[in-house]
Structures are given as C-alpha cells and as structure tokens.
Amino acid sequence: MGRKTILFLIVGVLGAYYGYTPLPDNIEEPWKLMWVTTCLKTMTHLGHFAELLGIGHFIDIARFFMSIQEVPPTSDENVTVMETTFNNVPVRIYLPKRKSETLRRGLFYIHGGGWCMGSAGFFDIDFLSRRTAVILDAVVISTNYRLAPEYHFPSQFEDVYNALKWFLRQDVLDKYSIDPERIGISGESAGGNLAAAVTQQLIDDPDVKIKLKTQSLIYPALQSLDLDLPSYRENANFLGLTKSLGVRLWSGYFTKDRSLEKAMFFNQHVPVESSHLFKFVNWSSLLPEKFKKGHFYNSPTYGNSKLAKMYPGFLDVRAAPLLADDNRLHNLPLTYVITCQYDILRDDGIMYVTRLQNAGVKVTHNHIEDGFHGALVYRGFKIGYRIENQYMSWLSENL
C-alpha cells in the first residue's frame, strides 16, 4: 500500500468515527482539510475527556499539544528576530536586514487562539511575521498577551494596548527606524478582535500622538451579543471552529463559570436592560441580502441580569468592537477586513464592514468564498498562500 492509501484509510476511519461532515463543493484540497480538522477534533475531544475525568482544563490539554509549535526566535539571512518586552508585555520583533535609505513601515501583529491559546512564537505565526517583514520591508512587532483561563477580560485587551502604546512612542520608533506615518495593526481571529478593540481605544487616547494608518482584521470575532447569526446557523458544525467551541471560547474570555457558556449557547445571556445594544449587531439590517438568504430574524430573547452583572465584559465595547457608536467608528483608519464563507464569525466581519462604511470609513472587504476559519495560517494549504498574497498586496499598497 502506498502512503496515500494509508493516509486515505486513516482519514476515512477517523472521519467515520467522528461523524463525516460533507464539505461544500468549492473547498480546495478537501482531504487535507479533513485530516487537519480531525487532528483538531481529536485534541478537543481528549481535552473534554480529561476534563470529565478531572485531570485538567480542556485548554491545558490543547496547549500541551500545541506547545510543540513553539519555535525559538531565530534570525535568518533576511530578518533579525529578537524578543523583548514593551511595557512589560513580551513581544517578538522582526527587523529586515536589507539596507534601507528611508524609514520603514511598522506593523503591529496580534495572534489568534480564542484568547486562551497561541503565541507569537508558534511556527505559523512566526513564519507569517517573517514573511511580512521581508515582503513589505517592514518592522513587525508580534505581541503576546496573557491568556484565559488564568486571565480573563480585560487582561488580554490591556496587555495588547499597553504594548501598542509603548510601540507608538517616538523614541521607540526612532530606535527601529520606523516612519510614524506608516504604522499598521493586524490581527487574526481573537487577535482581530483585539486589533479592532485597541484601534478604537487609541482614537480617544490623548496620551498617544502617533496614530495608526491601517487596521487589518482577519476573520475577526467582534461581538458575543447575538450568537445566532446566519453564519452561526450555517456553520454550527463546520470543521474546526464549531458553534459549541466558539461559544466556549467567547464565554471563557470572561469567566470559567460554565453558566455563561450555557446561556450564550441558547442566546439568552443579554439582559433586557441592554436591549438598546442590539441595534449595533442587528444582522437583519446590517447584512447584505446574499448573506441573509433563507434566514429569519428572531427578536432577542432576554436573559436575567445576573450574568451581565457578574461578567459585564460581554457588553463592553473593548470586548465587542461592534458595540461602538457611529461617532467613534467615524475616526477609524483605513480598514481591510477578511471574512470566510464557512466560518461562524463571517457575519461579525461583514456587519463591521457595513457599519464602518455607514460611518464614512474607507474599507476594503475581501470575502473568501471558499474560505474557512483559520485559512490564512494553515500552512501547506493553497488557500493560505492565496489569502496571504491578497493581504500582503493590500498592505503594500495602503500602508
């Protein structure tokens, strides 16, 4: 038997074991995707099993498997890589080695991982930062931040914000020869959430004189008020990021208390006192027709106010950037948003695009019709390189 046959059999058996989810026709390299997501599912199931037995938190198990991804900061012929701290927050810095007559662009990057996993030092993230530095001839700062379940909101937000503020000091920019007029921020998934949140916060911060030129949000999570959007309904069981995992990660950003997770799953966590916030996430008015097709808007079911009193984070604009009003959005920098068709978070990104456009912000929306959550950093997938090329060319034109 050839290697392909063996792989086919393994995938087949595991696929059958986990319940085969038919993939849409337009997914490229479907077997590869099945294989990767089967590994992810196995990890998640082991995590839940360990939790059931009382051995550990499911995030600990996931982190244990993921820690093999950590690579040391290693310079190569094109980039000098080093680690330091900005305002006590650990960051990895990528400096192009090529000689430059002029000041360079700067890019502040925030990794994903559901606010509880990931690191600037993970192979995929390190690889992307390296390529960004070389392709754009830019200084890339890839930040870390404290993670759940040890730390909850707003620790993640505050770490990223503190590191960003440190980076935007003139003396720091001078040290790395960065042009203060050409600084961008990018983040992926939970990192896109943090990128959008700190970019909003920066607008009103009188201490920071240097402002961002661009923000790039890569399939970001932008709100947890309504977890019954069409994208949640359509992709509830899609490989990788299912609705139940998404809800677990969202609630885990705020607390270990599983009662929030339960309420969120049934979309009954927002108290009636906060009903005025629903207009900011009303998909019935904020999604283009194409994405509403076949779905009916249900008016919110309100929950009791106890959860919101205990964990007010989920109603906080620093955790849910979609809750900002138009006056605040109006001042945001040039924006690039990537959304993927097969992603529960798709409609978060699309609603933000609509809201930014309505507020007069210049936005480029790149919707990936055959995309799925995480596609940019799935190394070895053609789709990852395709999205990376589009993202880099937007940055090279706009930053």
What amino acid positions are annotated as catalytic residues? 189, 343, 373
Interface with ligand NAG includes 302 (CB under 6 A)? no
Among the listed residues 279, 306, 379, 382, the single contact to ligand NAG using CB under 6 A: 279
Interface with ligand NAG includes 76 (CB under 6 A)? yes
**Collapsed DSSP state (helix, strand, coil) of residue 72:** coil
Interface segment toward ligand NAG; rule CB under 6 A; list 19-27, 280-288, 321-329, 366-374? 280-288
Interface with ligand NAG includes 217 (CB under 6 A)? no
Interface with ligand NAG includes 383 (CB under 6 A)? no
Interface with ligand NAG includes 285 (CB under 6 A)? yes
Q: Which residues contact 291 (CB under 8 A, 6 or more apart)?
A: 230, 231, 283, 346, 347, 350
Interface segment toward ligand NAG; rule CB under 6 A; list 29-37, 84-92, 275-283, 323-331? 275-283
Among the listed residues 67, 244, 284, 304, the single contact to ligand NAG using CB under 6 A: 284
Shorter beta-carbon distance to ligand NAG: residue 284 or 304 = 284
Beta bridge partners of 217: 187, 337
Rounded Cα gap, residues 113 and 258, in angstroms:
19
Start-end of H helices in 239-358: 243-254, 258-265, 283-286, 289-292, 306-310, 326-329, 346-358
Shorter beta-carbon distance to ligand NAG: residue 128 or 164 = 128
Among the listed residues 117, 128, 133, 134, the single contact to ligand NAG using CB under 6 A: 134
Shorter beta-carbon distance to ligand NAG: residue 10 or 272 = 272
**Collapsed DSSP state (helix, strand, coil) of residue 227:** coil
Beta bridge partners of 23: none
- Number of shown-chain residues binding ligand NAG (CB under 6 A): 11
> Tokens 């690191």 map to which residue?
119
Interface with ligand NAG includes 77 (CB under 6 A)? yes
- In whole angstroms, how close is the CB of 53 to ligand NAG at the nearest point? 43
- In whole angstroms, how close is the CB of 264 to ligand NAG at the nearest point? 18
Shorter beta-carbon distance to ligand NAG: residue 162 or 357 = 357
Interface with ligand NAG includes 289 (CB under 6 A)? no
Element (H, E) at 112: none
Rounded Cα gap, residues 291 and 282, in angstroms:
13
Shorter beta-carbon distance to ligand NAG: residue 113 or 300 = 300
240, HSE (Cβ side, Cα atoms, 13 Å): 20
Interface with ligand NAG includes 350 (CB under 6 A)? no
Q: x-or-dash pattern for ligand NAG, window 234-273, by CB under 6 A?
A: ----------------------------------------
Radius of gyration of the chain (CA): 21
60, two tokens: 């600990």
Strand 178-188 vs strand 89-96: parallel, antiparallel, or unpaired? Answer: unpaired
Q: What CA–CA distances, in Å, run from 213 to 168, 198, 334, 382?
A: 12, 14, 6, 30
Shorter beta-carbon distance to ligand NAG: residue 77 or 101 = 77
Q: Of 256, 240, 259, whose CA–CA distance to 57 is shortest?
A: 256
Residue 321 neighbours by CB distance under 10 Å? 29
Interface with ligand NAG includes 78 (CB under 6 A)? yes
Interface with ligand NAG includes 282 (CB under 6 A)? yes
**Binding residues for ligand NAG, per CB under 6 A?**
76-78, 134, 278-279, 282, 284-285, 299-300
